[in-house]
Copies of this chain bind each other. A is one copy, B any other.
Amino acid sequence: MTTKSERTQQRIIDAANQLFYRKGYNRTSFTDVVDEAEVPRGNIYYYFKTKEEMLRAVIKHRMETTTLMLSEWEKSIKNPLDRLERFVQIMYDSTPALLRSGCPMGSLNVELAKDQPELKSDAKQLFDLFQQWLAKQFAQMGYPEEARELSLELLARGQGIIVIAQVYQDPGFLERGTKEINRWLENLDRYA
């Protein structure tokens, strides 16, 4: 059972998570978070002394939900190809959000890579998490040597497609892009 205080903290994290995604980390103010979470102004400092602390909590939260998601995929999907395609599918499923705010992981990293090295290294963990999971799938598919490189290539393809789809507000590009990735994955699987 969760205490009221825990629930408040979670509300703050959820609000910050959303705002950091929609507005970016630097353009999100404490006031924004306080309003969104419906927490009285001063109270937020009881939970997070600084904005950086808040970001770390948000990243931790994303790490947890992502870890859960990936392990569920691993449990419910037996075939590595299908798992990789499941990954591609969340891209497609998230079209509206991606067109509006870009990739939550990519845009955060791009933002923090500018001049905020400590925070950047925190955000990078999110990439690591996906990268390692993807590499595992490629390895199981029959590419143990190339697994890391293939996982990076898959991530790069995803990032590129999302950036362009967002710039041109073009859901079709995202759709064609994900289909093309699937073709590539299926070929890899076939000739493994």
Q: How far is the CB of A148 from chain B (nearest CB, A)?
A: 10
Chain B residues with CB under 8 Å of A24's CB are 26, 111, 114-115
Query: How distant is the Cα of A22 from the Cα of B114 in the complex, in angstroms?
Result: 6
Contact of A114 among B23, B156, B177 (CB under 8 A): B23
Smallest Cβ-Cβ distance to A163: which chain B residue: B159
Contact of A160 among B107, B111, B149, B157 (CB under 8 A): B157
Query: How distant is the Cα of A176 from the Cα of B150 in the complex, in angstroms?
Result: 12
Query: How distant is the Cα of A176 from the Cα of B38 in the complex, in angstroms?
Result: 49
A-side interface residues toward B, CB under 8 Å? 22-24, 26-27, 101-102, 106-107, 109-111, 113-115, 124, 127, 149, 152, 155-161, 163-164, 166-168, 173, 176-177
